[in-house]
Amino acid sequence: MNGSDTARPRQFRVGGMDCPSCAASVERALGTLPGIGEVRVDVMQGTVHVAGGPGAPPDARVAAAIRRAGYKVIDPGDGSPAQGKGRFYAAIAGGVLLGSGLLVSWTGGPPALVVPLLAAATLISSWYVVPRALGALRNRALDIHVLMTVAAIGAAIIGQWGEAAAAMWLFGVAQWLEGYAVGRARHAITALMQVIPSEATVRRESRDVRVPVESVGLGEQILIRPGDRVPLDGVILRGTSSLDQSPITGESVPVDREPGMSVYAGSINGAGSLEVEVTHRADDTSLARILHAVEEAQASRAPSQSFVDRFAAIYTPLVVLLALAVAVLPPLLAGAGWEMWVTRGLTLLVVACPCALVIATPVTITSGLAGAARHGVLIKGGAQLEALADITAVVFDKTGTLTEGRLAVTDVVALNGISESEVLRLAAGVERHSEHPVARAIVARALEEGIVAPEPTGFAAMSGSGARAHIEGRDLFLGNLRVCDELGNCSTEAHELVERFADDGKTGVLLMDRQGPIGALALADTVRESAAPAVAALRAHGIGVLAMLTGDNRAVAESVGRMLKLDAVHATLLPGEKREAVLALQRAGHRVGVVGDGINDTPALASADVGIAMGVAGTPAALEVADVALMGEDLTVLPAALGRARRTRSILRANLILALGLKGVFLVLAGAGVATLWMAVAADTGASVLVVANALRAMGRGREWGVGSGE
């Protein structure tokens, strides 16, 4: 392997690395290698990321260092490591020997049989512990494996074989349970990618062939049959269907898709067949980017994790020194019995390891992040998750956030004796061949109502004011009041109608012939169906301020604000003024979340305590800008995400209280001689298992994904 190969960032899968002590041992082992730059160990993913400069060691040497620390390097092509099975079998065998030894002892059997049984139980139960203890000692580290090994050896030396065997067996069982629980958390994250098919049907040389998704190139055409999962991101060329996009966007209702629209890998196709042009390779789909962002998020450190790490760095050496003092000083200074005080010291050694405390934060945060991602909400890290849980004010952009971002006809008014359907029919005829947003909205409304628009002749756009066409023997005009006034015969009724539309935040257009107005239509950017329930749910969550910041005119903004019952509406704002509005809320003592499109609202998003971008499933840039990204366009997932963040924070606090409380209790009990060695092991490892099991609750579906509910 040449220098350029070793200098590149590399990743190794590591088996059996399920606790913070394991991660620290591996990190120290790699840190001693010359040429190694950054080492990042991810317990939740079971991976080690190594970066180095010229002269960095080859893969084989890095793998050897990991193995010397007592861990297994897994080939990338292998499935799940089998080490969990080995731990399980060791726990079974150790348990049988321990039970047999205790049974013989309690029934008055020969001591010559008891000690070998208990010694064998100790050795088998320590099968995976001692190699890691030796690896930690090589790197001058003091971790739980060293402490447990010393405690077991000490107990055996003073003849407490029952304590040694029970302690080591309980520790082995707990390590297996902890590995199993952490494995569940890992699986929840990798399962995000498992919804993507491994193969795609590609049209090549007029033939449909099945090929691995990794071999499909940009621009190739893939066929998606009814019921298939979409294998790659792309744009529909032919066919219409409805797609279940819930794996990516979290939207529970299937969405209709037609030619020209995007589809995302992992979506489930409905009843129609689709031909799709591939726009992203397999490693760059929206779902792949979500998974990559979640993996990066796990590496970021939440404030609570930084506190725990600082606490553990002080706590462990202090308690180890206390254990040494308890074991040695009373016999030396007061002539007390060595066996009793050494046992107490060994018990304190077990209490010295803060495993449950240290693992509480990463496993809880990861579970919360994975649970949110399963519902189409990408939270960029533990710090962002904790910040989301703390917000007291939410500020929305209007266009494309609270509203659909496209015009729709809201009112049709007939004038001069014709019907409303006739007004819509003629207006759609005038605009039939126009691409203007107003034209598209009018034609779409006619199609919705089953109205067939007449074929126009002599169509012409009037720049900035409207359009005209010749239909069924007469000249028709569709435009604003200026067009009406220029044609003459513009009635007071028409003026008042357009002005009333404007007061309601709508755009009014008039349908006219040479004699004057014959109808009017109002158009507006319609409010999302999910906006009102989302605002109500946020208020139910205790959000004190719900406001809108928009560059749109005041009448339009206030109309939307009244409809959604917002606390404040700020209109006609430039991007810098939106930022100032956010800063003003922060000066008033609020923790502010800003919801926007992730690009146009960059100053406000950057100034917020939490920047939230929505509808970014196909927008890589928005994933970079926001702290939280809503992959779909359903606003109700925002209060659900807030509920998930608060639920995760509650679980985290409960875990920290549990871990600290048990440590405190057993510190006192061990010092007083009440707690035995095996009891301390049971409490310590049991706490780790309970903490991990409780943390997995943050990954569950949770009632907060129902609108208005949550923590």
Count of CB atoms situated within 10 Å of the CB of 630: 29
- Dihedral through CA 48, CA 49, CA 53, CA 55, nearest 10? 30
Cα 643 to Cα 388: distance, rounded to the nearest angstrom: 9
Judged on CB neighbours under 10 Å (0-12, 13-18, 19+), 279 is middle
Question: Which tokens hold the place of 69?
Answer: 């620390």
| H-helix or E-strand spanning residue 42 | strand 36-42
Tell me the three state secondary structure of residue 378: strand
The CA–CA distances, whole Å, from 373 to 127, 405, 532 equal 38, 25, 24
The answer to whether 612 and 626 are in contact (CB under 8 A) is: yes
State the Cα–Cα distance between residues 646 and 711, nearest whole angstrom: 6
Which residue out of 18, 42, 143, 397 is catalytically annotated?
397
Per-residue DSSP letters for 25-41? HHHHHHHTSTTEEEEEE
Distances (CA, A) of 442 to 408, 424, 437, 505, 597: 7, 7, 9, 18, 26
| 49 alpha-carbon distance from chain centroid | 21
DSSP single-letter state for residue 609? S
Cβ-based neighbour number of residue 461 at 10 Å = 17
Least Cα distance to 272 among 285, 256, 260, 261 occurs for 256
Of 617, 605, 616, 637, residue with least CA distance to 534: 637
Which residues have C-beta within 8 Å of that of residue 64, sequence separation ≥ 6? none
Of 85, 92, 90, 89, nearest to 180 by C-alpha is 85
Q: Do β-strands 545-549 and 568-570 pair in parallel, antiparallel, or remain unpaired?
A: parallel
Q: At what angle do helices 144-157 and 161-190 cross, to 10 degrees?
A: 160
Query: Which residue, among 145, 148, 180, 155, has the nearest Cα to 69 in the 3D structure?
Result: 145
Angle (nearest 5°) at CA 706 between 703 and 709: 65
E strands, 552-653, are: 568-570, 592-596, 610-614, 628-630
User: Which residues sit opposite 468 in a β-bridge?
Assistant: 460, 477
143 flagged as catalytic? no
Closest CA to 369 of 359, 360, 379, 361: 379
Please list the alpha-helical segments (H only) found in 202-302. 246-249, 286-299
Distance CA 360, CA 661 (A): 13
Max distance between CA atoms of the chain, in angstroms, equals: 119
Q: Please give the positions annotated as active site.
A: 397
